[in-house]
Structure 1
Amino acid sequence: MTEKTLRKSCVLRLSQKIEAMRQINEIDLYYFKSISNLTKGK
């Protein structure tokens, strides 16, 4: 493995991690909104 391919795989892994974190944040936001809506409704 050359340094270039190593760096490329590192960037790819990092972008996948960021994408996964972004999806988790969206799910958390959705749940938070629905929970706050439930508490408002009471």
Structure 2
Amino acid sequence: MIYDDIWSEPGLSNECCHLIRSLLQKKRRQRIDLRKILLH
């Protein structure tokens, strides 16, 4: 679900939702980079 540009899904951890939100950022510069994805 997306509310006010905040993505969440019932049943997923906050950390998982944060990672997915980071991947779905509209602006390329705001998206998480590969190194941070691997450390997440």
TM range (shorter): 0.3 to 0.5
Max Rg structure? 1
Q: TM-score, normalised by structure 1?
A: 0.34
Instruction: Say which structure is richer in helix.
Output: 1
Q: TM-score, normalised by structure 2?
A: 0.35
